[in-house]
Structures are given as structure tokens and as C-alpha cells.
A and B are shown apart, each in its own frame.
Chain A
Amino acid sequence: MDRGHVVPPSILAPPTATSEGEQEMFLPGETHRLELTRERGIVTEVPAGSEEQLSAPGDETMIINLGPQHPSTHGVLRLMMELDGEEVLRVKPVIGYLHTGMEKTAEDLMYIQGSTNVTRMDYLNPLGNELCFSLAVEQLLDLEVPPRAAAIRVLMAELCRINSHLIWFATSGMDLGATTVMIHGFRERELILRFFERTTGLRMNCDYIRPGGVAADLPDGWADDVAEITSVIPRRLDESRNLLDDNPIFRRRTQGVGILTREEAVALGATGPILRATGVAWDLRKAFPYSGYEQYDFEVPTHDDCDVWARYQVRVAEIYESARIVEQVIETMPAGDYRVQDKKVTPPPRHRIDTSMEALIHHFKLFTEGFKVPPGETYVAVESPKGELGCYLVSDGGARAYRQHTRGPCFYHVHAMPAMMVGGLVADAVLVIGSSDPVLGEVDR
């Protein structure tokens, strides 16, 4: 073996063709206008001649893959970047590494099974996904859930929001090398997961909110558990924020970094905290209230700086607002049924199956055939922690959806990443990923 042979490091000249097809990022000299338009987002048209402004091939730029296996891409996001030293010249997100075909699967599942399917999409917001799907089914069924069911749904959705934001808080601390923040975020989240486990039986992917209500009533002593969550988490979050908020390193890392202007945010379909960080107070809980959100008193935090810092401020403020909503839910939780008393949709209570023939038949038919939904189509959107989570549902009158499509906010935010990253440094790109808080399960579905 020729050990002395030195293979020249061909790092600066990557192979020009791979089998990635449409997802390939081309070298500057081979990038045409359509390709650039695609990279920068279809809605922002690239003027003619832009491709000539790209650096010539052979210049000292480097195309690098950030992901899909990379410590800070929050899942299996892959970003192809053209770098000039540390500066990001072009970015192209590549998705599909977590594509599991959940939307197609939904066409083979009965509506009663649908929650189990959608809960896996945004795995940090499982109950929010279930809520969105259930609302869509209920709209097609023209069904009104009892007030207690609606209140439980709000409770769970807001706890999920806190849960999701805590994970974001933790991981964006990790992106900055602030490991203590990371541990703290996960520690606080544990409280919420324990409550989920106690209520639904599962820590994640709860399958708890179902068409017609929720799967089970809240356990005894739930109010104390939740009150502990709402008292502990804001207090501990104050402590964790001490490590970041007034830290000059953190401020200089985040302020003025990853800017997405209001126009760009609207044009690229960004919603949720990213849009609110550009000063737009757009929150579906206020704009189109569902599940009785109009009864609760809460603010929609906004910020005008459009940068990573603004998104940080907005999300942290939302944790406190969600805690406020949860406190109000504890006080105003109505008594009554936790699911709609409609024999065609809701399975009968277990103990009645042994005594009532009719209950047995209903139970059997519900779990073998499912319930039929009148033909029609609907789109229902809820405010997930990431933004507008929509469920588009088409029914042909059967027990299975003809088509189910999810509008995942993260998909649009991944699409907006190049706009935020270009011109920054690699270190900023990592922060941009963190501040858009993508969950690839939802992007790829």
C-alpha cells in the first residue's frame, strides 16, 4: 500500500453533479435565473441578470452541506450553502428526510383513528395537531363540543405551546453554546410531560383530543398539578432568562441577526412568532377564535425588530401569556361532559357495553366501520406554537377522509430561511434555524 501517497484535498471543487435532481445546488456558473428564483422563494421574483452577479466558478467559494446529520439543524433539515469564507452567499433548504406519508396514510384511516396519525406531525405540539384535525372533522359533522371539552382542549393546547416554546428555548441556547439553558428548558418541560402522561397515558403523541371531544376526563387533582406548572415554570423561566436576556454576548449574537422584514414575512407565508416578531399582531386565537379562546384574557406579544432577538422576546412572552390562559382555564373549568353525547360519533362508556345491546352494537360499529362524515370540504386553522397550523379535509361521505392536507407553519418557515440567512455568517445561520423553530416531522409529514 502506498502510504506516502497524498490525495489532494479536493474540498474547493465539489463534484458538479450528484443524483439529487431538483434538490441539487448548482455552482455559481451553472445557476440560471429560474434556479435562483427557486432558491430565494417563488414569491420574490429574481430580476434578470442576477445570476451574473454570482461569483464566477473557481472563485474561492465553497458549497457545504449543513445537515441532514448536523448537531444544530433541529432534526433532519438539510441546508446547502454557498460560503465565501464564513459568509453565507446562497442557501437552499432540502427537505424530505423525514417524509413518512402521513397525509396519504390519513386516507386509509377512519376519522376516529385520525388523531393518532396527525399527532406525530409536529411532535412538540401533539395536542395542537389533534385539535386542528378534530376541529376540521367536527366542522364537517356540524358538531358542537360541550364547553368542558372545549376548555380541556384549550388547557392542553396551551400547555403544549409552553412545552414547544421550552424546547425551542433550550435548543436555541444549545445553538449558542449555552448548555445550562438547554438543561433548564428540558427540566421545566418535564413537568408538563408528566401531566400529559397522567392525563392521557402518554408523554408525547398523546392521541387525546378526538373528534367529538377528548378521550378521557381530566384526572382527579388535575387543578393542583396544573397550578404547580403555572407557578413553577414562569418562576424558573425568569431564572433561566437571567443567563441570556441581559448577557451582552447573547444580545450581540441575536440583535440585528437573521432579519426577515414584515413584507418578506407576509410574502413568504411566515406566521406565528416569526410574523409577530415583525410587529404584526396576527394570532388566530384572536383573529378567528376557536374552542372558546374568546373567553380568555391574554395579550398577543409582538416586537418590531424583525431579528432573532425579536423572535426570542416574542416566544418568551408567549410562555407567560399561555401560563395566564392556563390559570384562567383552571378557574373557569365548566362541569359537564368531556365529549359530545352523540351515539354516532362517541363510543359508549365501557360499563354500558355489558348491559346494553345497543351500546355494544354502537361500539362495534364505531370501531370497525367508523362514523360517516357528510360529503364536503373544509379548512380549519389553529394557532400552533409555530404559527398557522391548518387542516384541509375533503370527505366523500365515507368513514375515511378522501383527502387530508396539513398546512404546517414550519414548511413555510424553512422556505423563509434563505431570506434570513443570506449575507450573514455560518454562526448566524445556526441561530436563524433555531429562531424559526422548525419541526421536520411537520415539514415533511
Chain B
Amino acid sequence: MEFDGWTALIGTGTVVAVFVVVMLMVILAVWAERRVAAVMQTRIGPNRAGPFGLLQTIADGIKLLMKESITPRQVDRLVYELAPLLAVLPAFLALAIVPFGPGFCIGGQGTDCSGGYFVDMQIANLNVGVLWFLSMSAIGVYAALLAGWGSGSKYPLLGGVRASAQVISYEAALSLSVVPVVVAAGTLDTQGIVLAQSQYRWFLLPLFIPALFFFVAALAETNRPPFDLVEAESELVGGFHTEYSGVRFMLFFLAEYVNVVTISALFVTFFLGGWTGPYPVAGSVNWAPLFGAIWFLAKTVCIIGIFFWLRVTLPRLRYDQLMALCWKRLIPINLVYLMAVAVWVAYQATGDLPRLVGGG
């Protein structure tokens, strides 16, 4: 396959399509969160802007765009202005490796699509996709940290300190929960991980504990309740974004929800079989990629729903308890589980358990 104008066009189209889909999901997620919370709390929720209040998020976005972005006198300008960008860019970049569906062929022949153009339903089909995601979420930590430091104010500072400790710790837990998946699938490529789970061999069951821990770490990683200590309103006013307003605040807000969408999509990819579904069996109909995308988005929406559900149900943890949970529970148990998975995979491959365990 040559690199030509069509390849470039397809690549650009994919980027635009993913961006539009994710932005729509974010807009709907913000609305849905408020409506779902309202239903759970016997309230009404936003219902004024548009049908069922669907345009509420857009209205809020416009409001934030129009508002003045106040820059307090004490801020460190460079750091202060860099932080919201550092929040929102990695959030979108991490999306690059999310496989929304199986790839399909335009105008080509056969399994290798000779003579045509193969379209991946993801922005970048990297062979180190998992690493890309982990590194992007690691960069995201700097946003909260720098925002907390650069604001030159006390509550953001406390929020920034919490962010650095919390998110870095949970970064470790998150990575360790992904490693069993990588070991089991034998690849770092997200498409490969999905394909390894085809025919209902979802990793959720064999890797239930890593899946659970991945979800817990994802909550902490995205600063969602009950792990929203970084921006705990009742303790730190607004946490690291106390001093932000207008567009800059909107970027933090946007980044949080993009992260929620990304991490839910990756949960689906890693543990719920990605775009595989009961219909159609891969390649049996022409519209397989479309159905794949539908299955994928449906599963993702369910996971996002759990995020909302937890938010209205659980009270917040305390800082030291959060760290204890990470370092004393999640990481050790994950390590043990990883060992078990590694031994099992090696046993499957070699069929020789005693040699593996004995090291002989």
C-alpha cells in the first residue's frame, strides 16, 4: 500500500470522525450525568435548554467561553497557562489508540486488501498502543500538579500536592492492572487485545481482579468521585482549579470528561471484548465494522454509567486511606495476580508447569 493523497484523506477523516464522536459523547455524558444523578436523587435535573435539556452542556460551554478568564496577580504565568493545555491535549491524544471497530477495506481485494485502502477504525494502530495510553495519562498528571503550583494560592497548592501523590500512585496501579491483559493477549496492540478476546473470551472473567482494580484506578486517575480528592469541594474549595475561570476552567472540565470516555473505552477494549459482539460474527456481513462500532459504543456507555452511579452513591475517601488502598491493596494483589497469569500463560505455551515454578 502506497502512501498517497487517499491515505492522508482517510487518516484525516478518521481523526475528525473520532474527535466528533468523542466530543458528542462528552457533551452527552455531561448532560447524562446530571440527568442520571437527578433521577437517582429524585430531582429533575437540567430540562430547559433544548429537548430534555440536551443542549445544556452546549449552553454551559458557550457561557464559559464568553466569560472572562481571570488571571490572579500571584500566578506563575507560564505554568498557569500551560496547565489547562496539558490537561486537555493528553486526554485527546490518548484517544488515538482506542479501537472503535474492526478495520475495513475500501476498493481492495482479499484479506490483505491489495490494491485498495485499509481503514482502521482508530486514529493510530500502534503496536505499542497500551504504552501510548499509559504515557499520555502520565502526562495528564502534570496538569493538576502545575495548575496547583502555578496558581500561587493555598488551596490549589494542596490540591496539586494531592494530585501528584494520588495520580502518580494510581498510575502504577493502573499500569499493573493492564499488564495481565497484555500478558494474556500477548500483544501491546489494542486491536490485537480485542482480537484475543473474540468469541466471548472476554478478559473480564479470567482477569476479574485486574479489571476491578483497573476500574478503581481509573476512577482515581480521572479524579472522579469517590476519589475526587484533588478537587474535593468541601475540603479544598475547587482543588487545583480553584483559581481558574472561563475557557481555562472549561479545558479542565473537558479534559476530565474526555478522560472518562477514554478510560471507559479502554476498559471495554481490555476487558469487555472491545467491538466484538453477538452480531454479526466478524466478516459475515458487509456492515460488520458499523456493528462493531455500535457494540463498542454501547459497552462504553454502560461503563460511563457506572462512573455516574458511583458518584451519587459513595462518599469520598480520605487522602491517607486512598494511598493505603493503592499501595497496600491494589498494587500487591495485582502483582500476585500478574505472577499467576504469567505462570498460566507460560504453562499454556510450554505445558510444563514444574520447570517454570521450580526454575529448573
Contacts and interface: CB of A to CB of B under 8 A. Distances in A.
Interface string B56-97: 000000000000000001111110000000000000000000
Given A11-B152, A183-B43, A173 B235 contact: no
Given A177-B225, A183-B42, A426-B235, A249 B76 contact: no
Nearest to B41: A183
Contacts of A6: 76-78
A195 B274 CA distance: 55
A180 B320 contact: no
Contacts of A296: none
Nearest to B314: A249
A18 to B, nearest CB: 15
B43 A247 contact: no
Interface string A413-438: 00000000000011110100000000
* Residue of A11, A177, A181, A183 most packed against chain B (CB within 10 A): A177
B273 to A, nearest CB: 31
A180 B77 contact: no
Contacts of A252: 317-318, 321
B153 interface: yes
Contacts of B43: 183
Interface string A291-311: 000000000000000000000
Contacts of A350: none
B312 A177 contact: no
B112 interface: no
Interface string A241-260: 00110010110110000000
Nearest to A253: B318
Given A9-B149, A11-B152, A183-B42, A250 B76 contact: no
B101 to A, nearest CB: 36
A78 interface: no
B235 A11 contact: no
Contacts of B154: 11, 62, 64-65
Contacts of A10: 74, 152
Interface stretch (B1-9, B47-55, B226-234): B226-234
A176 B42 contact: no
A430 B319 CA distance: 13
Interface in A168-195: 173-181, 183-184, 187
Interface of A: 3-7, 9-11, 62, 64-65, 70-72, 83, 85-86, 173-181, 183-184, 187, 243-244, 247, 249-250, 252-253, 425-428, 430
23 contacts: A6-B77, A7-B73, A9-B151, A10-B152, A11-B154, A11-B157, A62-B154, A72-B234, A174-B234, A176-B234, A176-B316, A177-B232, A178-B314, A179-B312, A181-B315, A243-B313, A249-B314, A252-B318, A253-B315, A426-B235, A426-B236, A427-B232, A428-B318
Considering the complex of A and B, which 9 residue pairs feature the smallest CB-CB distances, nearest first? A177-B316, A9-B152, A176-B315, A72-B234, A178-B315, A183-B41, A175-B234, A427-B318, A180-B312
Given A6-B77, A72-B234, A427-B232, 14 more contacts: A9-B150, A9-B157, A11-B153, A65-B154, A70-B237, A177-B225, A178-B314, A179-B311, A180-B41, A183-B43, A184-B41, A249-B226, A249-B314, A252-B317
